[in-house]
Amino acid sequence: MEEEVIEEKPKSNWSKKIKRFFLKLFLLILLALIGWVAFVCFYTYSEGWRSGTLTKFSRKGYVVKTWEGEIFQRGSEDGSLNVMNVKWLFSVEDKRKNVVETLNSYNGARFRIHYNERLNTFFWLGDTHYFVDSVVLVSDD
């Protein structure tokens, strides 16, 4: 009696190819997402100095607390003696402890503030696009 040999057909590589395709697609999307988050968190669109009188500086937020402040900048209209104040809002990251301490100590004083503007931000970083990294107290001489 002869045994019947049943040959198994080799499994198609089709399912392996599909699995590899979706794995590569998932990794590509994950890499793009990580790149976007890094871009938003660290890319500086512009930087500069602003000066004015500190009118508000507080730690606020429901779940995530951030340092938020505002200064009034004095300005005048062209060809006029009218003086107008412009309110400028900014955020300070928690890691800038010396900036936070200085601003908390001298509310109502005049400051020269260096900031970095970001294109976008996340709620745990701050409410504004302007992030202060150093301050200089301006004396009223």
- Summarize pLDDT for 30-83 with one digit per residue, the tens: 999 999 888 877 888 899 999 999 999 999 988 888 999 999 987 766 666 666
Q: Which CATH number fits domain 46-137: 2.40.170.20, 2.40.50.140, 2.60.120.1440, 3.20.20.70?
A: 2.40.50.140
Q: What amino acid is encoded at 62 in this protein?
A: Y
Tell me the percentage of the chain whose pLDDT exceeds 70: 85
Q: What is the pLDDT of residue 32?
A: 96
Q: How many CB atoms lie within 10 A of CB 76?
A: 10
Question: Who contacts 113 (Cβ-Cβ below 8 Å, separation ≥6)?
Answer: 49, 50, 51, 52, 71, 90, 132, 134, 135, 136
Residue-range domain boundaries for the chain? 13-42, 46-137
Please tell me the pTM assigned to this model: 0.70
